[in-house]
Amino acid sequence: MRKVKIVTDSCSDLKKSIREKYDIDYLQMYTVRDGKETAASLDWEYYSPKELYDTIRDGNRVTTTQVPAVNFERGFKQFLEDGFDVVYIACSSKLSGSVHTGRMVAKEMLKDYPVAKIRCVDSFNASAGEGLVAVRAAQLRDEGLDADAIADRLDAVKNHVNQFVTVHSLNALRAAGRVKASAAFFGNLLGVKPILISDKNGDNVALKKVKGRYNSIAELAELTADSIILEDNPFIYVVHSDCEDEAKETEKLLLEKIPGCRVEIGYIGPIIGASIGADALGVFSWGKSCERFSV
């Protein structure tokens, strides 16, 4: 059986220590500010998180690109020539076109590598939800599954990623087309913070509204505690867009509500950050199917 390389992209928000532990690579997207394209590094090589989020706080628009076809070609070719099959974990197709580009590139490249496989999986998630799907793929690889079996298993379980995110405002998400317009009124209620989920179709939708920032953070922990299947999680992933103290408060609440859990804290990366804006906070874990939500 051929070796398998697990690959994701800049939307996955997987920090370096996790990527290294699970041997996960990623393909870069790009941010665009003042007409200048910059690679969206999850290691923040080209600008710091504070620089990005202060730019957004100051009212400046940062736009993004999907993974360019040339990056797929370069990355896939390298892995195939090194003797790997590839499983690419993509951001939800409701939010990015990268999975479609990946599939088109893979179809053409495999003409020259007839014994190889490239499977492009629509994760139905973004940010750390996409990242958790990639981690599960790495675990399945380490259990000895081949590329087809890994991709098929992911398609069967990806709706079991639970995303609970709170933001100060839906304005950035609306401008980027990342949340349904039907949920937009939540962002206009004074002092009300929306709780966003990724639904069974991979759309970001508002599940409920909570009065006040601390209450919204407590609600993230409560929803996670009600949803999680602890044994399915190597860790709960808490991500933030430059509000680390609140991320640590969220970790504290999670440890109180879910005895025995392990929490990792990381930044929301440049691509998701440009869309969601500053001071967002999210909790991601494996648990009950998100199909239970009707919003």
pLDDT tens-digit map of 227-267: 999 999 999 999 999 999 999 999 999 999 999 999 999 99
Give the whole-angstrom CA distance, residue 209 versus residue 189. Answer: 9
Confidence at residue 179, expressed as pLDDT on a 0 to 100 scale: 53
H/E element holding 175? helix 171-176
Confidence at residue 178, expressed as pLDDT on a 0 to 100 scale: 52
Amino acid occupying residue 188: N
Q: Exposed (0-12), middle (13-18) or buried (19+): which is 254, by Cβ within 10 Å?
A: buried
The percent of residues above 90 in pLDDT, for the chain, comes to 84
Confidence at residue 127, expressed as pLDDT on a 0 to 100 scale: 98
**Where does the pLDDT of residue 192 fall: very low under 50, low under 70, confident under 90, or very high at 90 and above?**
confident
User: 128-142 and 147-157 helices cross at what angle (nearest 10)?
Assistant: 140
Confidence at residue 173, expressed as pLDDT on a 0 to 100 scale: 58
Confidence at residue 181, expressed as pLDDT on a 0 to 100 scale: 47
Average pLDDT over residues 119-126: 98
Ordered structural domains, the chain, with CATH: 3-158 (3.40.50.10170), 159-292 (3.30.1180.10)
pTM, whole model, 2 decimals? 0.94
Q: Taking the alpha carbons of 194, 96, 225, 295 in that order, is the dihedral positive or negative?
A: positive
Task: Say which residues have a Cβ less than 8 Å from residue 239's Cβ, sequence separation at least 6.
Answer: 13, 127, 128, 247, 265, 266, 267, 268, 281, 282, 284
Q: What does the pLDDT look like over 129-142, one tens digit per residue?
A: 999 999 999 999 99
Residue 159 has pLDDT above 80, yes or no: yes
Between 180 and 250, the higher pLDDT residue: 250
Confidence at residue 170, expressed as pLDDT on a 0 to 100 scale: 62
